[in-house]
Amino acid sequence: MLLPSDMSVWQRMDRAFWKRARWDLKFTWWPQRCALSNKWLWLELAYRGVAVWLGPGSDAVEVKWADRQEYLIQQLKQ
């Protein structure tokens, strides 16, 4: 079981998502939270990342949203 105190595990999982996800610029019709800054994104253009995780059971689809400026900053850091 993953515990919140083990931040290195969470950081590795987050990095894996950012590398695996397919990012598209989409219009946010419904309120979404930015995965980087935690601010609300609503009725504006934002990046939506979708990662599909394949496993022994059913597939899992993970979706995260990012503000345009925050997304570009994150891409420059990598």
* pTM: predicted TM-score of the whole model, two decimal places: 0.81
Q: What is the pLDDT of residue 4?
A: 54
Between the alpha carbon of residue 54 and those of residues 51, 57, 72, 73, the distances in Å are 10, 8, 28, 29
**Tens digits of residue pLDDT in 3-62:** 555 556 666 667 888 888 999 999 999 999 999 889 999 999 999 999 999 988 898 999
| Of 50, 52, 44, 51, the residue nearest 26 (C-alpha) | 44
Q: What is the pLDDT of residue 16?
A: 82
